[in-house]
Structure 1
Amino acid sequence: MINQLSWKVGGQQGEGIESTGEIFSIALNRLGYYLYGYRHFSSRIKGGHTNNKIRVSTTQTLSVSDDLDILVAFDQETIDVNYKELHDKGIIIADAKFNPQRPEDTNAKLYAVPFTDIATELGTSLMKNMVAVGASCAVLNLDIEVFKDVVQEIFGRKGEQVVQKNMDAIKAGYDYMKEELGDQVGAMQLEKGDGKKRLFMIGNDAIALGALAGGCRFMAAYPITPASEIMEYLIKKLPTVGGTVIQTEDEIAACTMAIGANYGGIRAMTASAGPGLSLKMEAIGLAGITETPVVIVDTQRGGPSTGLPTKQEQSDLMAMIYGTHGEIPKIVMAPSTVEEAFYDAAEAFNLAEEYQCPVILLTDLQLSLGKQTVEPLDYSKVEIRRGKLVTEDLPATDSYFKRYEVTEDGISPRVIPGMKGGIHHVTGVEHDETGKPSESAANRIAQMDKRMRKIKNVRFKTPVHKNVKHEQADLLIVGFNSTRGVIEEAMTRLEQDGIKVNHAHVRLIHPFPTNEMLPLIQSAKKVVVVENNATGQLANIMKMNVGHIDKIKSILKYDGNPFLPHEIHSQCKELF
C-alpha cells in the first residue's frame, strides 16, 4: 500500500477533463484523504491541451508532486506532453480510440482502454470520462460505490436513468481495467483515509465565502480569469442575505461602484486580475484620498498585458503597493492557503473600515483556482469591526463635520450620507478637515501625514507564517501566496541533507512586517526568496525594508508553471 498518489487526467479542453478530475477527487475527499489539485488549461473556451493533476495523501498536502503515478490520457498529446513526469513504475491509461503510443524513453506501462467505445455502447460517448474514472479505480482497488453519491449530486437533476448510466460507465471501466491488470489489481492501493469530513474547494470560493461571512453585501466586477469564480459564487449567494452583484461595463466602473457603496455604509468589494487592476488604479487613488474603505481582490496571472491569462505568476506586488499615482495608505494581504483565503477575506473588510483605506487581497492563479482539502471552517473566528464609524446622529450645528479631522492615529471619524450633523465635502482633490478643497501647503502636509500615519501600526494577527526549527539556521526560505506547501516539502528534503532550514511565508506584504522578518533574516546564514516572477519583487521589497542586501538571493520561475518541490530543493542545495 502507498500513503500518497499523484494522478493526472489530460485531453482537449471541452472534453470533460475538469469534470473527470472533479468526480475523482470529490469521492476521495469524502473518504478522508487530503487532496491538492492544479489545473493546466488554455486561454480559450474549447480546444487546446488541458490537464488536471491531483495529489492524494493520508496527510495534509499543499503542493503538487514532482512525479506522477497514473496518467489518464484522452489523446496522444497528453502522453507526449506529460509522460516525463511518470516514474518507472507509473501507469498510462489511454483511450484505445486514438491508438496510443508509449514514448521509447519511459518505463511506464501503457494500458489502452476503449473509453469512447465502452461509453458509446452504454448510450453516449460523453461518458468516456466516467469509464476513465472506473479504470483508475481498478488500479487503486477502490470500491466504485464511493462515487454513487457524487454522481447523484452532479447528474441527479437529469434523472435516475442518467445517474445509473454514469455508474454503469464507471463499472464498465473498472471491469475492463481489472481484467487487463490481472494480478496487478490494486498495484497502487492507498492506505485507508481517516473518513473525516472536510471541505474541498478553490481559493476563489473561499474568498467569496469569507467576504459573505465578513459582511460584504455588494460586489461590482467585470469577468476576468482567474477571478471570475468570486463573482459567480456571490451572484448566487449574496441575494440570499439581501445583497447583490453587478456585472459592470468595465473595471473602472466596478471599482468606483464599490467605492460608492462603501461610502454609503455598505461593505462592498471588487475582484480582478492584473490587467483589471491596472484599470482600477485611478479609482484606488480616489479611495485613498477620500479615505473610503474598499476591498479589492487581485488574482495574479501571467503578464504583462493579456500575457498568459491562464498560467501561474506572482508579478503584481510592486503594482499593488506603488501602482497608484501619488502616495496613499494601502494594505496588501497575501493568504497562502485556501483556509487562510477565507479568514483573510473576512478580515479585509475589518481592516478597510478600521484604517479607512483600500485593502488589496493578493492571490495567484494556483491559489485562486487550485483545489485543496480544507478543515471545517470556524465561523466564530469571524468578527465584524467597523472602526470609527459614527452610528448615532450628531448634535445639530451650523459647522461642517470634520470628516478628515487630523488625529493622533491618523484615523478620522466617519459618517454615512444623510446622518444628522454629518454633512461634509467629498472630493478627489486635496482638502481640509471638512473636505473643502484646499491648496494650502500647511494643510497639505497635515493631511498627507495624517493619511500615511494610519497604517504605521496595522494590527494583523499573523503577518508572517513561521516554520522555525532552528535558532541559528543555515538557510531561511521566504515565499508568499501558493508557494507555501512546495517550500515546506523542499525544506523537509534539505533537512534530510543535513541543512538547517527555517521558513517564513509573508502574509502581509504592505506595510511590510519588518519587526517579524528581521530577526529571522539575522539568524540565518543565507536567505533565499522563492517567487513566480522575473525580477524578484518580494526580495526587493525585503531589501528595502530589512536591508541585508548581500545575504538575500532569489529563486525565480516565470514560465507560467508553478514550482515543484525538486526545483526548490536542488537550487537551494546549490548554495551549499
Structure 2
Amino acid sequence: MISQLSWKIGGQQGEGVESTDRIFSTALNRLGYYLYGYRHFSSRIKGGHTNNKIRISTNPIRAISDDLDILVAFDQESIDLNSHELRPGGVVVADAKFNPNLPEGVNAKLFAVPITSIAEELGTSLMKNMVASGASWALLGLPIEVFNKAVEEEFGRKGPAIVEKNIEAVKRGSEFVLEQAGGPLDEFKLDPADGKQKLFMIGNEAIALGSIAAGCRLMSAYPITPASEIMEYLIKKLPKFGGTVVQTEDEIAAVTMAIGANYAGVRTMTASAGPGLALMMEAIGLAGMTETPLVIVNTQRGGPSTGLPTKQEQSDLNAMVYGTHGEIPKIVIAPASIEDCFYDTIEAFNLAEEYQVPVIIMTDLQLSLGKQSCNTLDLNEVPIKRGKLVRDLPALEENQYFKRYEFTGDGISPRVLPGDKNGIHHVTGVEHDEVGRPSENAVNRQKMMDKRLNKLNGLTIRDAVRVDAPHKEADLLIIGMGSTGGTIDEARRRLSADDVLTNHITIRQIHPFPTDIVQAELAKAKKVIVLENNATGQLASQVKLYAGGADKIKSVLKYDGNPFLPSEVYKACKELN
C-alpha cells in the first residue's frame, strides 16, 4: 500500500471535468485524506483544454506533485498534453470513443472504457463524468458507498431519479474497468486515512468566510478571474448575517463604494485581480488621504494587461506597494495557506480600522483557486478591534468642528461615524487641517504627511515572517511568499537527503517590510534564494532594499503561468548551492 497518490482528469472545458474532480475529491475528503488540488483551465466558458490535478495523501501536503499516477482522459489531447507526467507503471483511463493511444515512450497501462457509450445508454452523454469517476475510483479499491454518498449530495436537488442514474453510471464504469484490470490495482491501494474531519476549500472561500467572521456586512465588487469566487460565496452567505453584495459596474465604483461604506461605519471589502487593482489606484489614494479604513483582496494572475487570466503569477507586488500617486500609509499582507486566508482576512479588517489605512490582502491564483485540506478553523481566534472609533462625544463650542485628523502622539486620530452628535467635520481628498478643512499651509502639509506616514512605524502583524530555521548556519536560506511555501519545504526534504542545510522563511508582511526579522535570518545563511512567480524578482528587490544581503541573494523565477514544482525548486537550489 502507498501513502500518497496523484490523480488528474483532463478534457475540453465545459464537458464535466470540474464536476468530476469535485465529486472525486469530496469523497476522498469524507474518508479523511489530505488533498491538494490544482486547476489548469482556459479563460473561456466552453472549449479549450482543461485539467484538474489532485494529490491525495495520508499526511499533510501543500504542494503539487511532480508526477502522476492516474490520468482520466476525455480526449486524445488530454493524453498528449499530460502523459509525460505519468510515472512508470501509471494508468490512463480514457474514453474508448476516440480510440486512445499512448505517445511513444510512455510507460503506462491504458484502459479504454466506453465512457460516452455507457452514459448515452443511461440517457445522456452528460453522465460520462460519473462513468469516468467510477472507473478510476474502482482501481483504487476504495469503498464505493462513500463515493455514492458524494454523488447523492451533488445531484440530490435534481431528484432521486437523477441520483439513481448517476449512481448507476458510477457502477457501470467501475464494473467495466475492474473486468479489464482483473480487480483493483494493488500498486494504487492507499493506506487508510486518519478519518479526522478536515475542511476542504479554496483560498477564496476561506477569505470570504474570514470576512463574515470579521463582521464584514457589505461587499462591493466586479467579477474577475481569479477573484470572483469570493463574491459568489458571499452572495450566498452574507444575507444570512444581515449583509449584502453589490455587483458594481466596474472596479472604480466597487472601491469607492467600499470607501463610502467604511466611512459610514460598515465593515466593507472589495476583491479583484491585477487589472481591477490598476483601476482602483486613485481611490486607494483617497482612502489614504482621508484615513478611511479599506480592505482590498488582490488575487494575482498572469499579466500585464489581460495577460493570462487563468494562470499563476506573483507580479503585482510592486503595484500594491507603490501603486498610488503621492505617498500614503498602506499595509500589504500575503497569506501562505488556506488557514492564513481566513485569519489574515480578519486581521486585515482590524488593521484597517486600527490604523485607518488601506489594507491589501495579496494572494495568487494557486492559493486562491487551488482546493486544499485545512484544519478546522477556530472561531475563538476572531478578535474584533475597531481602533479609535469614538462615541458619546463631548459637546463642541459654537462654530467648532470635531478634530477628525487631530495630531496625536501615535499619528492615529479619533474617528467618528457620520451623524454622531458633536462629530461634525469636513472630509476631502485635498490636503486639510485637523478638522478636515482644505489647507495649503506649508507647515500643516508637512505635519499631516508625517502624521499619516509615521503611524505604521513598528507595525508587525502576527507571523509577519514565518520562520523554519533549524540551522544556526545554513548553506541556503530559501525565501518565498504566497503559495510557494509547501513546494519549498518539499524541495528542502530532498536537499536534506543530499546533506544541504536549508532554512526557510515565508514573508507574509510585504509592506511595511519586516526588516529586523529578515535581516536576522539573512545573517545565518551562506547563500540566499528568493523564489517567486514573476520575471523581475520583485520580492527579492524588497529584501535587498530593506534587509540588504544583495551580494548573496539569487533569484529563482518562474513566469510561464504554472506554479513551481518541488523538483524545479530542488534542481535550482542544487545548481545555485
Q: Which residue of 2 aligns with 1:524?
A: 525
In 1, the alpha carbon distance for the partners of 2:514 and 2:547 equals 9
* 1:340-359 Cα shifts (integer Å, max 9, x gaps): 10010111100000000000
Query: How many Å apart are 1:183 and its aligned residue?
Result: 5.5
In 2, the alpha carbon distance for the partners of 1:31 and 1:183 equals 21
Query: How many Å apart are 1:73 and its aligned residue?
Result: 0.3
* 1:461-519 Cα shifts (integer Å, max 9, x gaps): 11011111111111000000011110110011111110000000011100011111111
1:435 aligns with 2:436: yes
Aligned AA (1:17): V
Maintained 8 Å contact 1:138/1:186: no
| SS at structure 2 position matched to 1:512 | coil
Maintained 8 Å contact 1:527/1:551: yes
| SS at structure 2 position matched to 1:550 | helix
| SS at structure 2 position matched to 1:409 | coil
Q: Which residue of 1 aligns with 2:246?
A: 246
In 1, the alpha carbon distance for the partners of 2:505 and 2:366 equals 19
| SS at structure 1 position matched to 2:536 | coil
Query: How many Å apart are 1:302 and its aligned residue?
Result: 0.2
Q: Which residue of 2 aligns with 1:447?
A: 448
Q: Which residue of 2 aligns with 1:509?
A: 510
Q: Which residue of 2 aligns with 1:296?
A: 296
Q: Which residue of 2 aligns with 1:355?
A: 355
Q: Which residue of 2 aligns with 1:153?
A: 153
| SS at structure 2 position matched to 1:569 | helix
* 1:137-162 Cα shifts (integer Å, max 9, x gaps): 22211121111221111111111111
Maintained 8 Å contact 1:139/1:187: no
Describe how 1:536-575 pairs up with structure 2 within 5 A: 536-575=537-576
In 1, the alpha carbon distance for the partners of 2:288 and 2:184 equals 64
Query: How many Å apart are 1:184 and its aligned residue?
Result: 5.7
1:486 aligns with 2:487: yes
In 2, the alpha carbon distance for the partners of 1:250 and 1:302 equals 20
Aligned AA (1:452): L
1:282 aligns with 2:290: no
Deviates more, 1:162-171 or 1:248-257: 162-171
Describe how 1:168-567 pairs up with structure 2 within 5 A: 168-182=168-182, 185-398=185-398, 399-567=400-568
Deviates more, 1:116-125 or 1:57-66: 116-125
Maintained 8 Å contact 1:394/1:422: no
| SS at structure 2 position matched to 1:112 | strand
Query: How many Å apart are 1:279 and its aligned residue?
Result: 0.1
In 2, the alpha carbon distance for the partners of 1:477 and 1:327 equals 32
Maintained 8 Å contact 1:256/1:283: yes
Aligned AA (1:460): I
Deviates more, 1:73-82 or 1:451-460: 451-460
* 1:424-447 Cα shifts (integer Å, max 9, x gaps): 110000111111111111111100
Aligned AA (1:342): F
Q: Which residue of 1 aligns with 2:125?
A: 125
1:32 aligns with 2:19: no
Query: How many Å apart are 1:261 and its aligned residue?
Result: 0.2
Query: How many Å apart are 1:182 and its aligned residue?
Result: 1.3
| SS at structure 1 position matched to 2:219 | strand
| SS at structure 2 position matched to 1:28 | helix
Q: Percent identity?
A: 67
| SS at structure 2 position matched to 1:270 | strand
In 2, the alpha carbon distance for the partners of 1:199 and 1:153 equals 16
In 2, the alpha carbon distance for the partners of 1:459 and 1:519 equals 15
* 1:239-259 Cα shifts (integer Å, max 9, x gaps): 111111110011000000000
Query: How many Å apart are 1:187 and its aligned residue?
Result: 3.1
Aligned AA (1:517): V
Q: Which residue of 2 aligns with 1:140?
A: 140
In 1, the alpha carbon distance for the partners of 2:443 and 2:105 equals 74
Number of aligned residue pairs: 576
TM-score by structure 1 length?
A: 0.99
Maintained 8 Å contact 1:345/1:361: yes
Aligned AA (1:321): V
Aligned AA (2:432): H
In 1, the alpha carbon distance for the partners of 2:465 and 2:121 equals 56
In 2, the alpha carbon distance for the partners of 1:267 and 1:570 equals 46
Aligned AA (1:101): N
Question: Over aligned residues, Cα RMSD in angstroms?
Answer: 0.9
Q: Which residue of 1 aligns with 2:44?
A: 44
In 2, the alpha carbon distance for the partners of 1:69 and 1:41 equals 21
In 1, the alpha carbon distance for the partners of 2:81 and 2:454 equals 53
| SS at structure 2 position matched to 1:389 | coil
Query: How many Å apart are 1:335 and its aligned residue?
Result: 0.2
In 1, the alpha carbon distance for the partners of 2:30 and 2:348 equals 31
Maintained 8 Å contact 1:38/1:64: yes
Aligned AA (1:69): D
**Structure 2 gaps, min length 5:** none
| SS at structure 1 position matched to 2:182 | helix
In 1, the alpha carbon distance for the partners of 2:164 and 2:342 equals 36
Aligned AA (2:163): V
Maintained 8 Å contact 1:394/1:419: no
In 1, the alpha carbon distance for the partners of 2:82 and 2:446 equals 59
Describe how 1:8-87 pairs up with structure 2 within 5 A: 8-87=8-87
Maintained 8 Å contact 1:205/1:230: yes
Query: How many Å apart are 1:164 and its aligned residue?
Result: 1.1
Deviates more, 1:299-308 or 1:143-152: 143-152
Maintained 8 Å contact 2:7/2:55: yes
In 1, the alpha carbon distance for the partners of 2:392 and 2:190 equals 61
**Structure 1 gaps, min length 5:** none
Q: Which residue of 2 aligns with 1:104?
A: 104
